[in-house]
């Protein structure tokens, strides 16, 4: 009887972890993407155009499907 309770508890914890862990990893990845984009925009706004171009290109290489990708392409076009 105790074993069944223990097994059920372990199963519940496992399921919760399987749901939460990917969400936390995705949030960390999105934060990295936003940081990368903001850095490229800061370089551009600081007049460091060559470095901004490289940063925008790296952003697009690493985060091509991100919501900020069109903005990064626009930054490259300027």
Q: What is the pLDDT along the chain (78 residues), one digit of tens a residue?
A: 666 776 666 566 555 556 655 555 555 568 899 999 999 999 999 999 999 999 999 999 999 999 999 999 999 998
Residue 55 · residue 39 · CB < 8 Å: yes
Provide the 10 A C-beta neighbour count for residue 48: 14
CB burial class (10 A; 0-12, 13-18, 19+) of residue 30? middle
Whole-number pLDDT of residue 53: 97
The encoded tokens of residue 66 equal: 């991100």
């Amino acid at each position: 009887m105790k074993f069944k309770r223990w097994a059920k508890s372990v199963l519940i914890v496992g399921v919760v972890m399987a749901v939460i862990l990917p969400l936390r990893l995705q949030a960390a990845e999105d934060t990295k993407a936003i940081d990368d984009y903001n850095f490229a925009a800061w370089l551009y706004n600081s007049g460091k155009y060559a470095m901004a171009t490289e940063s925008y290109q790296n952003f697009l290489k690493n985060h091509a499907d991100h919501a900020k990708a069109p903005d990064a392409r626009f930054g490259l076009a300027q």
